[in-house]
Each structure stands twice: as C-alpha cells, then as structure tokens.
Structure 1
C-alpha cells in the first residue's frame, strides 16, 4: 500500500479510493481491522479532504445469546422475553435512559385492555408494561384499579341502565415518564440483563450473509459484541438496512 499511495496522490484533479475490508478470525474473533474510505480533491493547487481513511483495530468486548439494539418499549420487551427464556442478554441504547418515545418523546399509547364491554382484548407483555408504567406513578386510578395493580381483585357488578351498559364509561390515568424510565432500568437489572447506555450501534458485523454481532462506539471507543441472535429495535430498522436487507420507506 505504501508504494501505491505516492502515485495515487499525483493525480492532478481528483481521485477516489474506496476500500472496505474486514478481517475476521474464523474460529475465535478477538479483533477486526477496518479500512474505510478516502477522497481528495485538488482545487487551485490546494488539496481538500472529503473523507479520511481509518485504520482501526476494534476489540471484541463480549459475547451474548441475545443482543437487542434499541431501548424503547419494544426493545425492553424483547430483552425481558429473552432473559426470561434463560438467555444471556445485552441491551444497547443510544441515549441515557430507557423507554424511547414513551419516556423521552412523551408519546405513549396503550390500546385499551378491554373493548369497553368487559371483554379483554390485549394482555401479555403489553398489559404487564402498562400496569408497570403506573405502578409507581400518580395515584389517579379508581379504587378497584388500584387494588388490581397491587395484586388484589375486586368484582363490581352494580345495576346500571341498559343505555349505560352499551357504552359504559372508561377509566383514564396518567403516568410519569421519568419514573417509568427509572423503573424500566431497575426491571431489566433485576432480570440480569446487561445495559449499555450512551452507546451508538454503528453497523452490523456480517459474515457470509449472517449477522454475527454489531460494532458500537461510545466514550470508551469502538468495540464489537457478538451474539447468537440480534434484535433490531432501533425503530427505523437501522441494522436491517445496513445489513443489506431490502427495506422500504
């Protein structure tokens, strides 16, 4: 490469060298080497760099069964499900708190638990997180709901007019996004899930069309994590797109 560059730099106007190389040890990956892209343009006898070539040795940080990229409500649910299935799980979040739009964006909507006529229409993880979001929040629920949140159940069957029975009133409550975010962090820690905050997932680590892990960057520097399965919960399919999977907008 050293003998190649002098002749390359002697081009009078413009040159572009694009090299992307990834060295992966087949049996045991300890590090990867990445060569990036360099572009340079000569204008009025001056050279201007558009892109600088990187020579990086990126160390392997750890290996997991499940790696979840994105700490929104969907990512939290995926990490919880993986941990409860006995998997060693890592969740990587680009910001400094969990919840995504539900906490940082103040956009959180849960479908009603029932159809308004006493028939339950959602459950599972969605109901669990709904109840968890108000568990430590403001005490604005009617008394029967408060009892249900605490683990008790109360059946109320008053006599009501037929008209009200067709369209019965519904209960609405509020939650604190800050309390919800802290509660989610504690919930994941209690389940033994490793968390990486303020960490950006840069790109998937591909080997023969299979995603083996992700390259990340934070204040420590660059590193990569490998996992048996990768969950893209970024909200915009960032990993899927960068892995070359067809996407649409």
Structure 2
C-alpha cells in the first residue's frame, strides 16, 4: 500500500490511499471514500479541489442512472438544555438548516451532471423523509436506506448524541461507498470520540455517559486516526498540543480544510 499526504494551496488537506488490487478484498474500508470537514460549505462546496475529488469518487460508482444521497441530521437534532428557545423551535430550526445543507449538496452533485435522489434519515427514531415526492428512491427502513445509499452525509451538531444513535448502524455505514462527515460527523468517523470534549462545545450529558469517554470508539473509518474539526492554531493550538499525545494519529481540520481518502 502506498500513501500520499499533501496540503493543497486552497487549504484542502488531501490524503489519498492507493491500494494494490490484490488487497482490495481485505476490508470494506479500502473501498470506502472519505470526505471529512469542519464545514460543508467551506470544506467542500467552496473548494474547487475538494469538489474535483468528490466528483471523481462519485464517478467510481459506475454507470448509475441516479445517485442516492442519504442525509443524516441526527447530531443537529440534539436538544440544547441550556437554551432559552423551546425544544419544538430548536427542532424546527434544525430541520430547516438541515434541509438547506442537504439541498446544497444535491445542487453540487447536480452541477456535476449527476441525477440525484435524496433521503433524510434521523438515526434517533429511524424516521425517513424523501427530498421530493417524485424521488425514484423508495426505502421503508433505515437499514434499507443504508444498504442502498451511494453517499452518506453525516452532518454536525452534538457528537455524543450522534454517537449514541449511530453506533448500532456502524457495520452498514462502512459499506456505503462514499462517507461525508461534517464536524460531529467527522469526529465519529475517527477512532476517539473523546476529542469532542476538548473544546467544551458539545454537552455529553444529553445521553447517559459511559464511565470514561477515553475507552469509547467511533466508527474508526480512517485507519486509527482521530479528528479535531474547527481548528484554529491561535485559539486551540496549545490545547491540541497538550491532548494529542493520547490520540495519535490526530488530524486537525481548519474551516476550509478537508481530509480525503480515495
């Protein structure tokens, strides 16, 4: 196996894994393409290099008449316990923002000349919502949606809420050809979930926490790497330097960077 790692001029961190054909059947991971970012807009949609890499990954799906995008907003649906906004209004805003992000990704893929069917899946209650009533992609369960998706877009929000609800689907997620993880979606794709504790942004008490988050593993889609999104050296550099020893290899992601495995 040969690994190439470079930082592109526009701030896209590119990691391309080129695997010899004889080893392709060893694990499902080697067939999965990863795009991990802090921000969907700044990390992919506004980055030409990341767009080109995503287009190339979609092209590897073969001659599909329509590309199936599964959007996961679960992390953003976690209730903020300290907010003065009602739970209902919090959910309403999260759904509105999620729809805008899903539509932005659909538009980008459409700009690549792909025909897109999109479905939104909340891992918490396994509810499904199609982007349009005319969608040709009909699925009746979370399992069916995961088993037939070409791309899974796991959005940001509360990492711990996402982890609790995504864990039972981990094996099926690893079989989706393209995984796009945004913020919390990037963290759970890594090995260590405890990275989400460092900034204090995510409330771990939205779920019943384990005895120690240090022993809790994410999906581990990137060969043992953990991910620290929304990095800014001036703000978080000393924190990362102090904590990363226990989480190597650690990949920090600025707002305009993407970690990509193809």
- TM-score by length of structure 2 reads 0.24
* Greater helix fraction, Structure 1 or Structure 2: 2
Higher strand fraction (1 or 2): 1
**Rg larger in 1 or in 2?**
1
